[in-house]
Amino acid sequence: SSDLTQPPSVSVSPGQTATITCSGETLGKKYASWYQQRPGQSPVLVIYQDNKRPSGIPERFFGSKSGNTATLTISGTQAMDEADYYCQAWVISTVIFGGGTKLTVL
Amino acid sequence: QVQLLESGPGLVKPSETLSLTCVVSGDSMNINSWSWIRQSPGRGLEWLGYIYYSRSTNYNPSLKNRVSISVDTSKNHFSLELRSVTAADTAVYYCAGGVEWWYFDLWGRGTLVTVSS
């Protein structure tokens, strides 16, 4: 399958840990990346190559992967983390995105 | 700091060609891959294609050979052509750059293109 599956929504209380999963057969062999997209803004890379954090991304963003599932974990979630999150990988050389997860901090 | 800025018509007629340009400013020496990605209103992200090391291109098979990406390194910009557009091509189009083609470090602001007569 060439799909990446994410939960449509995740809710978390401020200060708690948010966990967003991304499942797909390709993740068993290919790197996962994660993007944050706040309302009305462009996506921002927060994790690449499964668990690497670009400079400027807070340490509370953590990426991991096990088998066919990649996970984005946000510890000590803040109101500013409320956004849509997309996972991304590739199949052969075609880039694919997950459907996105809306993270609500309430 | 590298910045990307898309430009092009905001309205394209059905069956015509959508053409967009992405101007790259700043030190982009570490960026080897230039891509186009779109997002239909209220929907997720769809990768259109990339050009890698200014010569190797790869496109989303779902676009059925309608798409072309080119780069003009002397003018610091790269371009998208999407032919034979329909209303389904209405979207915000983002240009993006990356050290490698399999992730996107940098994104432009995005530009809305509407396909309508």
User: Rounded to an integer, what distance in angstroms lies between the CA atom of residue B21 and that of residue A105?
Assistant: 37
Residues A61-85, mean pLDDT to the nearest whole number: 98
**Residue the block writes with tokens 């490698």:** B100
- Interface contact A94-B60, CB threshold 8 A: yes
> Which pLDDT value is given to residue A13?
97
- The residues of B whose Cβ lies within 8 A of any Cβ of A are 35, 44-47, 50, 58, 60-61, 94, 101-105, 107-110
Q: Is the pLDDT of residue A1 over 70?
A: no
Burial class (CB in 10 A: 0-12, 13-18, 19+), B110: buried
Q: Is the pLDDT of residue B6 over 90?
A: yes
What pLDDT sits at residue B53?
86
Q: Please, which pLDDT band fits residue A41 given cuts at 50, 70 and 90?
A: very high
CA–CA distance, B104 with B79 (Å, rounded to integer) = 17
Mean pLDDT for chain A?
96
Query: Can you give the pLDDT at residue A7?
Result: 97
